[in-house]
A and B are shown apart, each in its own frame.
Chain A
């Protein structure tokens, strides 16, 4: 089995109100100096050895991310 990570982030040009809300909360909690926050999703997949990169890319592109509004990165973690 391989371990695969898929990170999904809102595209830079897409408004991220959740990230903004987090950023706005930080000064109220006493944390200074955080200029901006973007919020995304992190998936960890346990993958059989015969699943190739093309299949992983397809999973990320058609299901885990919506390419209209999100970018994604697929990474295989070393065992």
Chain B
């Protein structure tokens, strides 16, 4: 399984994302923002950080990077794509996922270990979890408030496309406590918290995030 991990200028979490892919038994393939091809990968992770300094809006400029044109096209063809944090913001700006991420309601950057509930275990990135399982992974973002109009929210809830939901106090004002969502076909998933930082007990609060990458392995192998 070859999994592309994109690096934009200002990306921070590409190394941990690649490490998580390797931990799960995959091969991490570095992709550069200026690349015009995806080097034959089976899936792509768009990692966290501050692409292009987050100028204008988070993800607004990264969306137009050459590599993202390839990702959008491949995702429309069914390739699994995971956006974490800034990656989630980029996938929303690229219209692969609906809605937008806005400034945290209390304005503070939130950096803490966060409990999430897995609401949908039928996506390409969550099949290894039990539905309703609660996992503990780091959350570190200043613009993580998920916003969408009521019709979009009703659609996401009705179709089971809310994949992760915050447990306990809402950390950033996200509507419906939404931490992560998926595309209609369950292949594209974006979330604000960081499963790639929680893949072993040595470097993370738990190994709860590893299941995301193991799930992908299953999705790619069975495809």
A and B associate:
yes
The reply on A64 being an interface residue by CB < 8 A is yes
Report if A17-B103 is in contact (Cβ < 8 Å); known contacts: A64-B56, A66-B93: yes
Closest chain-A Cβ to B99's Cβ sits at a distance in Å of: 6
Interface residues of A, count at CB 8 A: 12
User: Could you tell me the dominant secondary structure of chain B's interface residues?
Assistant: loop
Task: Return chain A residues, CB-CB under 8 Å to B93.
Answer: 66
Q: Is the CB of A68 within 8 A of B107?
A: no
Instruction: For A67, give the chain B residue with the smallest CB separation.
Output: B100
Q: How far is the CA of A66 from the CA of B107 in the complex (A)?
A: 20
Instruction: For B102, give the chain A residue with the smallest CB separation.
Output: A69
Q: Is the CB of B99 within 8 A of A68?
A: yes
The reply on B69 being an interface residue by CB < 8 A is no
Contact of A18 among B64, B98, B107 (CB under 8 A): B107
Interface residues of B in 66-113 (CB under 8 A from A): 92-93, 98-100, 102-107
Q: Is the CB of A66 within 8 A of B104?
A: no
Task: Return chain B residues, CB-CB under 8 Å to A69.
Answer: 100, 102, 147
Q: Is the CB of B147 within 8 A of A68?
A: yes
The reply on A31 being an interface residue by CB < 8 A is no
Which B residues form the contact surface with A (CB < 8 A)?
A: 56-57, 60, 64, 92-93, 98-100, 102-107, 145, 147-149, 173
Which A residues form the contact surface with B (CB < 8 A)?
A: 10, 13-15, 17-18, 21, 63-64, 66, 68-69
